[in-house]
Protein backbone atom coordinates (compact mmCIF):
# COMPACT_ATOMS: atom_id res chain seq x y z
CA UNK A 1 0.00 0.00 0.00
CA UNK A 2 2.85 2.35 0.81
CA UNK A 3 4.15 2.62 -2.81
CA UNK A 4 0.65 3.54 -3.95
CA UNK A 5 0.54 6.34 -1.41
CA UNK A 6 3.95 7.57 -2.48
CA UNK A 7 2.97 7.52 -6.15
CA UNK A 8 -0.22 9.41 -5.37
CA UNK A 9 1.83 11.98 -3.47
CA UNK A 10 4.15 12.36 -6.47
CA UNK A 11 1.17 12.95 -8.76
CA UNK A 12 -0.05 15.70 -6.45
CA UNK A 13 3.45 17.26 -6.37
CA UNK A 14 3.63 17.23 -10.17
CA UNK A 15 0.24 18.88 -10.58
CA UNK A 16 1.11 21.52 -7.97
CA UNK A 17 4.48 22.32 -9.56
CA UNK A 18 2.87 22.50 -13.00
CA UNK A 19 0.37 25.02 -11.67
CA UNK A 20 3.19 27.12 -10.27
CA UNK A 21 4.99 26.85 -13.60
CA UNK A 22 1.98 28.18 -15.49
CA UNK A 23 1.46 31.04 -13.06
CA UNK A 24 4.96 32.49 -13.36
CA UNK A 25 6.40 33.96 -16.53
CA UNK A 26 8.03 36.83 -18.36
CA UNK A 27 4.93 38.97 -18.22
CA UNK A 28 2.66 39.20 -15.19
CA UNK A 29 -0.69 37.52 -15.70
CA UNK A 30 -3.32 37.61 -12.98
CA UNK A 31 -4.01 34.09 -11.61
CA UNK A 32 -7.70 34.57 -12.43
CA UNK A 33 -6.77 35.29 -16.06
CA UNK A 34 -4.56 32.19 -16.09
CA UNK A 35 -7.54 30.16 -14.96
CA UNK A 36 -9.74 31.84 -17.57
CA UNK A 37 -7.19 30.99 -20.25
CA UNK A 38 -7.05 27.36 -19.14
CA UNK A 39 -10.83 27.00 -19.47
CA UNK A 40 -10.87 28.93 -22.75
CA UNK A 41 -12.37 32.19 -21.54
CA UNK A 42 -9.45 34.63 -21.80
CA UNK A 43 -8.74 37.33 -24.37
CA UNK A 44 -6.60 36.30 -27.33
CA UNK A 45 -3.15 37.56 -26.20
CA UNK A 46 -3.53 36.08 -22.70
CA UNK A 47 -4.75 32.79 -24.14
CA UNK A 48 -1.74 32.70 -26.48
CA UNK A 49 0.66 33.44 -23.63
CA UNK A 50 -0.75 30.77 -21.32
CA UNK A 51 -1.82 28.03 -23.73
CA UNK A 52 0.74 28.36 -26.50
CA UNK A 53 3.82 29.56 -24.62
CA UNK A 54 3.74 28.70 -20.91
CA UNK A 55 1.83 25.44 -20.83
CA UNK A 56 3.95 23.83 -23.61
CA UNK A 57 7.07 24.88 -21.75
CA UNK A 58 5.87 23.29 -18.53
CA UNK A 59 4.92 20.15 -20.46
CA UNK A 60 8.34 20.09 -22.15
CA UNK A 61 10.09 20.42 -18.78
CA UNK A 62 7.97 17.62 -17.33
CA UNK A 63 8.70 15.32 -20.28
CA UNK A 64 12.44 16.00 -20.11
CA UNK A 65 12.63 15.52 -16.35
CA UNK A 66 10.48 12.39 -16.43
CA UNK A 67 12.50 10.85 -19.27
CA UNK A 68 15.81 11.54 -17.53
CA UNK A 69 14.51 10.22 -14.21
CA UNK A 70 13.46 6.91 -15.75
CA UNK A 71 16.65 6.67 -17.82
CA UNK A 72 18.69 7.19 -14.64
CA UNK A 73 16.80 4.45 -12.82
CA UNK A 74 17.36 2.05 -15.72
CA UNK A 75 21.08 2.77 -16.01
CA UNK A 76 21.64 2.50 -12.27
CA UNK A 77 19.80 -0.82 -12.23
CA UNK A 78 21.59 -2.21 -15.27
CA UNK A 79 25.10 -1.14 -14.28
CA UNK A 80 24.45 -1.76 -10.56
CA UNK A 81 26.10 1.58 -10.15
CA UNK A 82 24.72 4.34 -7.95
CA UNK A 83 26.48 7.01 -10.01
CA UNK A 84 25.15 6.09 -13.44
CA UNK A 85 22.86 8.51 -15.19
CA UNK A 86 22.48 9.68 -18.81
CA UNK A 87 24.62 12.76 -18.18
CA UNK A 88 27.67 11.32 -16.40
CA UNK A 89 27.79 8.26 -18.66
CA UNK A 90 28.03 10.47 -21.75
CA UNK A 91 24.73 9.20 -23.13
CA UNK A 92 23.32 12.73 -23.18
CA UNK A 93 26.48 14.04 -24.85
CA UNK A 94 26.10 11.45 -27.61
CA UNK A 95 22.48 12.51 -28.02
CA UNK A 96 23.52 16.17 -28.15
CA UNK A 97 26.03 15.40 -30.89
CA UNK A 98 23.27 13.66 -32.83
CA UNK A 99 20.79 16.50 -32.42
CA UNK A 100 23.34 19.23 -33.26
CA UNK A 101 24.31 17.26 -36.36
CA UNK A 102 20.65 17.11 -37.37
CA UNK A 103 20.34 20.88 -36.96
CA UNK A 104 23.60 21.47 -38.87
CA UNK A 105 22.37 19.29 -41.71
CA UNK A 106 19.24 21.42 -41.83
CA UNK A 107 16.88 18.50 -41.42
CA UNK A 108 13.27 18.95 -40.33
CA UNK A 109 12.72 19.56 -36.61
CA UNK A 110 11.14 16.17 -36.11
CA UNK A 111 14.34 14.48 -37.28
CA UNK A 112 16.16 15.79 -34.20
CA UNK A 113 14.79 13.23 -31.70
CA UNK A 114 15.72 10.40 -34.07
CA UNK A 115 19.28 11.71 -34.52
CA UNK A 116 19.54 12.23 -30.76
CA UNK A 117 18.37 8.65 -30.19
CA UNK A 118 21.03 7.31 -32.57
CA UNK A 119 23.73 9.34 -30.80
CA UNK A 120 22.56 8.20 -27.37
CA UNK A 121 22.43 4.57 -28.48
CA UNK A 122 25.99 4.79 -29.80
CA UNK A 123 27.30 6.24 -26.52
CA UNK A 124 25.44 3.86 -24.27
CA UNK A 125 26.61 0.86 -26.30
CA UNK A 126 30.23 1.97 -25.92
CA UNK A 127 29.72 2.49 -22.18
CA UNK A 128 28.32 -0.99 -21.85
CA UNK A 129 31.23 -2.60 -23.71
CA UNK A 130 33.83 -0.68 -21.70
CA UNK A 131 32.07 -1.21 -18.41
CA UNK A 132 32.17 -4.99 -18.86
CA UNK A 133 35.90 -5.24 -19.46
CA UNK A 134 37.29 -7.63 -16.86
CA UNK A 135 33.93 -9.22 -16.21
CA UNK A 136 32.60 -6.75 -13.68
CA UNK A 137 31.44 -3.19 -13.94
CA UNK A 138 33.09 -0.79 -11.54
CA UNK A 139 32.04 2.71 -10.67
CA UNK A 140 35.33 4.05 -11.91
CA UNK A 141 35.23 2.43 -15.38
CA UNK A 142 31.76 3.77 -16.03
CA UNK A 143 32.70 7.29 -14.95
CA UNK A 144 35.92 7.30 -16.97
CA UNK A 145 34.16 5.98 -20.03
CA UNK A 146 31.55 8.69 -19.54
CA UNK A 147 34.24 11.39 -19.44
CA UNK A 148 35.85 10.06 -22.61
CA UNK A 149 32.58 9.85 -24.50
CA UNK A 150 31.51 13.29 -23.32
CA UNK A 151 34.76 14.87 -24.51
CA UNK A 152 34.55 13.05 -27.83
CA UNK A 153 30.96 14.20 -28.37
CA UNK A 154 31.85 17.70 -27.16
CA UNK A 155 34.69 17.89 -29.68
CA UNK A 156 32.30 16.70 -32.38
CA UNK A 157 29.82 19.43 -31.47
CA UNK A 158 32.57 22.09 -31.58
CA UNK A 159 33.73 20.76 -34.95
CA UNK A 160 30.20 21.07 -36.31
CA UNK A 161 29.86 24.60 -34.95
CA UNK A 162 33.07 25.80 -36.57
CA UNK A 163 32.41 23.99 -39.84
CA UNK A 164 28.80 25.08 -40.23
CA UNK A 165 27.76 28.66 -40.94
CA UNK A 166 24.26 27.73 -39.89
CA UNK A 167 25.51 26.99 -36.40
CA UNK A 168 28.30 29.52 -35.98
CA UNK A 169 25.77 32.29 -36.53
CA UNK A 170 23.58 30.70 -33.91
CA UNK A 171 26.10 30.16 -31.15
CA UNK A 172 23.62 31.24 -28.51
CA UNK A 173 21.19 28.52 -29.54
CA UNK A 174 23.92 25.90 -29.61
CA UNK A 175 24.99 27.05 -26.15
CA UNK A 176 21.45 26.36 -24.98
CA UNK A 177 21.89 22.78 -26.19
CA UNK A 178 25.18 22.40 -24.35
CA UNK A 179 24.02 23.91 -21.06
CA UNK A 180 20.51 22.56 -21.23
CA UNK A 181 17.49 24.79 -21.62
CA UNK A 182 13.77 24.23 -21.79
CA UNK A 183 11.80 26.38 -24.18
CA UNK A 184 8.28 26.58 -25.55
CA UNK A 185 7.92 23.94 -28.20
CA UNK A 186 5.43 23.42 -30.96
CA UNK A 187 2.72 20.86 -30.31
CA UNK A 188 4.09 18.45 -32.94
CA UNK A 189 7.44 18.22 -31.17
CA UNK A 190 5.75 17.75 -27.81
CA UNK A 191 3.46 15.02 -29.11
CA UNK A 192 6.41 13.13 -30.60
CA UNK A 193 8.40 13.46 -27.35
CA UNK A 194 5.41 12.46 -25.23
CA UNK A 195 4.82 9.40 -27.40
CA UNK A 196 8.47 8.35 -27.10
CA UNK A 197 8.48 8.84 -23.33
CA UNK A 198 5.20 6.96 -22.93
CA UNK A 199 6.32 3.99 -25.04
CA UNK A 200 9.73 3.89 -23.35
CA UNK A 201 8.16 3.99 -19.90
CA UNK A 202 5.85 1.08 -20.75
CA UNK A 203 8.86 -0.86 -22.04
CA UNK A 204 10.77 0.00 -18.87
CA UNK A 205 7.90 -1.34 -16.78
CA UNK A 206 7.92 -4.53 -18.84
CA UNK A 207 11.65 -4.87 -18.05
CA UNK A 208 11.19 -4.06 -14.35
CA UNK A 209 11.08 -7.66 -13.05
CA UNK A 210 14.19 -8.67 -14.94
CA UNK A 211 16.07 -5.55 -13.83
CA UNK A 212 15.26 -6.40 -10.20
CA UNK A 213 17.13 -9.66 -10.70
CA UNK A 214 20.22 -7.67 -11.77
CA UNK A 215 20.57 -6.33 -8.24
CA UNK A 216 22.49 -9.49 -7.33
CA UNK A 217 24.68 -9.44 -10.39
CA UNK A 218 24.24 -10.48 -13.96
CA UNK A 219 25.21 -14.10 -13.33
CA UNK A 220 22.70 -14.47 -10.54
CA UNK A 221 20.10 -12.95 -12.85
CA UNK A 222 21.00 -15.56 -15.47
CA UNK A 223 20.61 -18.39 -12.96
CA UNK A 224 17.19 -16.94 -12.08
CA UNK A 225 16.24 -17.58 -15.69
CA UNK A 226 16.69 -14.05 -17.08
CA UNK A 227 17.95 -13.76 -20.66
CA UNK A 228 20.62 -11.22 -19.72
CA UNK A 229 21.81 -10.59 -23.26
CA UNK A 230 18.34 -9.67 -24.41
CA UNK A 231 17.54 -7.71 -21.26
CA UNK A 232 20.68 -5.64 -21.48
CA UNK A 233 20.06 -4.78 -25.09
CA UNK A 234 16.46 -3.80 -24.35
CA UNK A 235 17.42 -1.62 -21.40
CA UNK A 236 20.08 0.17 -23.46
CA UNK A 237 17.63 0.88 -26.28
CA UNK A 238 14.97 2.17 -23.87
CA UNK A 239 17.54 4.37 -22.11
CA UNK A 240 18.68 5.78 -25.44
CA UNK A 241 15.06 6.45 -26.46
CA UNK A 242 14.43 8.40 -23.25
CA UNK A 243 17.72 10.30 -23.37
CA UNK A 244 17.29 11.13 -27.04
CA UNK A 245 13.79 12.51 -26.45
CA UNK A 246 15.02 14.59 -23.50
CA UNK A 247 18.09 15.99 -25.26
CA UNK A 248 16.17 16.80 -28.45
CA UNK A 249 13.81 18.93 -26.37
CA UNK A 250 16.18 20.56 -23.91
CA UNK A 251 19.81 19.76 -24.63
CA UNK A 252 22.18 18.59 -21.92
CA UNK A 253 20.30 18.78 -18.64
CA UNK A 254 22.64 17.39 -16.01
CA UNK A 255 22.16 15.19 -12.95
CA UNK A 256 18.36 14.79 -12.98
CA UNK A 257 18.76 11.12 -13.84
CA UNK A 258 21.24 10.72 -10.99
CA UNK A 259 19.43 12.54 -8.21
CA UNK A 260 15.84 11.44 -8.77
CA UNK A 261 16.26 7.65 -8.41
CA UNK A 262 18.47 8.22 -5.35
CA UNK A 263 15.98 10.53 -3.74
CA UNK A 264 13.05 8.22 -4.40
CA UNK A 265 14.49 4.78 -3.53
CA UNK A 266 14.22 5.36 0.25
CA UNK A 267 10.62 6.40 -0.33
CA UNK A 268 9.32 3.72 -2.69
CA UNK A 269 11.92 0.96 -2.46
CA UNK A 270 14.20 -0.48 -5.12
CA UNK A 271 11.62 -2.55 -7.05
CA UNK A 272 11.65 -1.17 -10.56
CA UNK A 273 7.95 -1.67 -11.11
CA UNK A 274 7.40 1.13 -8.58
CA UNK A 275 10.69 2.96 -8.98
CA UNK A 276 10.17 3.60 -12.72
CA UNK A 277 6.81 5.41 -12.44
CA UNK A 278 8.04 7.19 -9.32
CA UNK A 279 11.09 8.48 -11.23
CA UNK A 280 8.87 9.55 -14.13
CA UNK A 281 6.72 11.66 -11.78
CA UNK A 282 9.56 12.82 -9.56
CA UNK A 283 11.83 13.76 -12.46
CA UNK A 284 9.00 15.67 -14.11
CA UNK A 285 8.25 17.58 -10.90
CA UNK A 286 11.92 18.37 -10.29
CA UNK A 287 12.51 19.78 -13.75
CA UNK A 288 9.30 21.80 -13.81
CA UNK A 289 10.46 23.41 -10.55
CA UNK A 290 14.05 23.82 -11.81
CA UNK A 291 12.74 25.52 -14.95
CA UNK A 292 10.58 27.78 -12.81
CA UNK A 293 13.72 28.67 -10.84
CA UNK A 294 15.62 29.26 -14.07
CA UNK A 295 12.95 31.69 -15.22
CA UNK A 296 12.63 33.74 -12.04
CA UNK A 297 16.15 33.66 -10.53
CA UNK A 298 17.55 36.46 -12.70
CA UNK A 299 14.33 37.74 -14.31
CA UNK A 300 13.88 39.22 -16.85
CA UNK A 301 16.93 37.29 -18.05
CA UNK A 302 16.54 33.52 -18.12
CA UNK A 303 19.04 30.98 -16.88
CA UNK A 304 19.42 27.77 -18.84
CA UNK A 305 17.76 25.13 -16.67
CA UNK A 306 20.98 23.09 -16.82
CA UNK A 307 22.61 25.73 -14.63
CA UNK A 308 20.09 25.01 -11.87
CA UNK A 309 20.30 21.22 -12.16
CA UNK A 310 24.10 21.43 -12.29
CA UNK A 311 24.33 23.63 -9.19
CA UNK A 312 22.03 21.32 -7.24
CA UNK A 313 23.10 18.03 -8.81
CA UNK A 314 26.89 18.26 -8.74
CA UNK A 315 27.21 18.47 -4.92
CA UNK A 316 24.73 15.61 -4.67
CA UNK A 317 26.88 13.58 -7.06
CA UNK A 318 29.95 14.21 -4.86
CA UNK A 319 28.02 13.05 -1.77
CA UNK A 320 27.03 9.81 -3.46
CA UNK A 321 30.56 9.34 -4.78
CA UNK A 322 32.04 9.79 -1.30
CA UNK A 323 29.54 7.36 0.16
CA UNK A 324 30.15 4.71 -2.49
CA UNK A 325 33.93 5.13 -2.09
CA UNK A 326 33.57 4.53 1.66
CA UNK A 327 31.51 1.42 1.09
CA UNK A 328 34.31 0.20 -1.18
CA UNK A 329 32.49 -0.13 -4.48
Partner 1 sequence: MRHVLVALALLLSAACGSAPASIPVPTPSASPSPTVVTDFQGRSVQLPRSVERIVSIGASNTEFLFALGAGERVVGVDDFSDEPPAALKKEKVGGVKVNLEKVTSLRPDLIVTIKFSDGTIERLAAVGAVVLVVDPQGLGDVARSATLIGQAVGADGQKLADDITRRLQAVKERAATITAKPRVFHEVDATDPAKPFTVGPGSFVHDLIELAGGVNVAARAASPYPQLSAEELVRSDPEVIVLADADYGVTPEQVAARPGWSGIAAVRTKRVYGMSANLVSRPGPRVGEAAEAYAKLLHPAVFR
Residue 25 as a binder of partner 1 (CB under 8 A): the answer is: yes
Pairwise CA distance, residues 277 & 282, whole Å: 8
Pairwise CA distance, residues 195 & 14, whole Å: 19
Pairwise CA distance, residues 75 & 78, whole Å: 5
From the list 132, 170, 209, 271, which residue makes contact with partner 1 (rule: CB under 8 A)?
Answer: 170
Nearer to partner 1, 88 or 177 (CB): 177
Site for partner 1 in 63-82 (CB under 8 A): none
Per-residue mark of binding to partner 1, 46-65 (x: CB under 8 A): -xxx--xxx-xx--------
- CA neighbours within 13 Å on the CB side: how many for 229? 0
Nearer to partner 1, 212 or 302 (CB): 302
Pairwise CA distance, residues 176 & 111, whole Å: 19
Residue 41 as a binder of partner 1 (CB under 8 A): the answer is: no
Pairwise CA distance, residues 61 & 246, whole Å: 9
Site for partner 1 in 72-131 (CB under 8 A): none
Taking the complex as a whole, how short is the minimal distance between the CB of residue 165 and partner 1, in angstroms?
9
Nearer to partner 1, 138 or 184 (CB): 184
Residue 184 as a binder of partner 1 (CB under 8 A): the answer is: yes
Q: Which residues contact 222 (CB under 8 A, 6 or more apart)?
A: 228
From the list 76, 81, 183, 232, which residue makes contact with partner 1 (rule: CB under 8 A)?
Answer: 183
Residue 175 as a binder of partner 1 (CB under 8 A): the answer is: no
Please spell the DSSP secondary structure of 201-241, one letter per residue. HHHHHHHHHHHHHHTT-HHHHHHTT--HHHHHHHHHHHHHH
From the list 144, 169, 198, 318, which residue makes contact with partner 1 (rule: CB under 8 A)?
Answer: 169
Pairwise CA distance, residues 222 & 38, whole Å: 51
Contact footprint for partner 1 (CB under 8 A): 25-27, 44-45, 47-49, 52-54, 56-57, 166, 168-170, 172-173, 176, 181, 183-187, 300, 302
Amino acid sequence: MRPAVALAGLVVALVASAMLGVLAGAVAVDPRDVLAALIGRADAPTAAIILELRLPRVIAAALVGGALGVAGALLQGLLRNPLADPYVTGTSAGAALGSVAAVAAGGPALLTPLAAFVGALGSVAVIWRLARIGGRTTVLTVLLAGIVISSFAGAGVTLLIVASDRLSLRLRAVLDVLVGGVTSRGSAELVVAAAIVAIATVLALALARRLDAYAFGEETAATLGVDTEDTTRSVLVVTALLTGAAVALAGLVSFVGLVIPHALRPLVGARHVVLVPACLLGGATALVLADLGARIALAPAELPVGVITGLVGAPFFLLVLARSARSGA
